[in-house]
Structure 1
Amino acid sequence: MYKYILQDRTKKFHIAVIQLCQILPKNAAAYEIAKQLIRSAGSVGANYRAACRAKSKSDFIYKIKVVLEEADESLYWLEILKETRIVPPEIIKSLIREAYELVLIFNASDKTAKDNLLKTKSQNP
C-alpha cells in the first residue's frame, strides 16, 4: 500500500513542478532551469514506478539509486530558482520541502534495501 502512496506523491511532485515552470519568466536562464527541473522531477516518479516493478533486490537497489539521484537533482534546481530569486521564496518553499523529503525517503529506502540484501546474503552463504 505504501508504494501507491509514494507513486501518487511523486506524480503530484512532478505536476507541481510543471505548474511552477509554467509561471517562470520567459528568459534563457529560466527556460534552461525549467527544462532540467521538469526532466528530473519526472524521472523521480517514472523511475520509482520502475523500481516498484524491479525483478530482484539488486535491481530495486539500482533503480532506487536513480530515483534518489533525480530527487536530489530536482532539489538542486529548485534551490537555484530560489537563490537566484527567479522565483520568490514563498512560492517555492513547499516544493523545496517536498523535494527534500523525497530525498530523505529514497535515501532511507536505498539504505534499508542494501541492509536487507546483506542480511539475506549472510543468511544464505
Structure 2
Amino acid sequence: MQKENVIKEKTFSFALVIIELYKICKTQNEFILSKQLLRSGTSIGANVQEALAAFSQKDFLYKMSIASKEARETQYWIELLSKSKMVEFNEEKYTKEINDIVNILTSIVKTLQQKLNNKT
C-alpha cells in the first residue's frame, strides 16, 4: 500500500479545480488570462510528480522549486481574474486552496535547502 502524499494529492485535486475555473472563464468569454491560469495551475502537480521521481535531493529541490513558482504564478492569475472583474467566480474557494499549496511547497523547499546547506 502506497503512503499518502499530501502535496501530490492537493496539487492533483487543485488541477481539477483549475480546469473547472477554466471552463467557467470560457463560458464567460474570457480566453486569454484563463489559458495562463490553466497552464500554471495544472503544471504545479506535474512538477510535483517529476520531483517525486527525482534522481537526487538537488533534483527534487529543483523540481519542487519550479512547482512553488508555478503556484505563485497561479495565485497571481486568480487575483488578476478576480480584481479585473473579467469573470464572475468564487475567488475564496480558489485562493484558499492555492495559498495552502504555496505554504506547503515553501516549507518543503526551505526545509530541503537548509538540509542541503548543512551538508556542505
- Tell whether the structures are fold-level matches, with TM greater than 0.5: yes
1:82 aligns with 2:75: no
Shift of the alpha carbon at 1:106? 0.7
Residue in structure 2 matched with residue 115 of structure 1 by the alignment: 114
What is the alpha-carbon distance in structure 1 between the residues aligned to residue 104 and residue 9 of structure 2? 14
Secondary structure of the corresponding residue to residue 54 of structure 1 = coil
Aligned alpha-carbon RMSD (Å): 1.3
What is the alpha-carbon distance in structure 1 between the residues aligned to residue 54 and residue 88 of structure 2? 39
Whether contact under 8 Å (2:10, 2:101) holds in the other structure is no
Post-superposition CA distance 1:68-112 (Å, at most 9, x none): 0000001100001110123346x1211111111111111111100
What is the alpha-carbon distance in structure 1 between the residues aligned to residue 42 and residue 24 of structure 2? 18
- Name which one, 1 or 2, has greater alpha-carbon Rg: 1
Gaps of 5+ in 2: none
Whether contact under 8 Å (2:36, 2:77) holds in the other structure is yes
Secondary structure of the corresponding residue to residue 93 of structure 2 = helix
TM-score by length of 2: 0.89
Percent identity over paired residues: 30
Residue in structure 2 matched with residue 94 of structure 1 by the alignment: 93
Residue in structure 1 matched with residue 10 of structure 2 by the alignment: 9
What is the alpha-carbon distance in structure 2 between the residues aligned to residue 109 and residue 87 of structure 1? 33
Higher mean alpha-carbon deviation, 100-109 vs 65-74, is at 100-109
Shift of the alpha carbon at 1:21? 1.3
- Misfit runs of 4+, over 6 Å: none
What is the alpha-carbon distance in structure 2 between the residues aligned to residue 55 and residue 8 of structure 1? 21
Shift of the alpha carbon at 1:35? 0.5
Aligned residues: 116
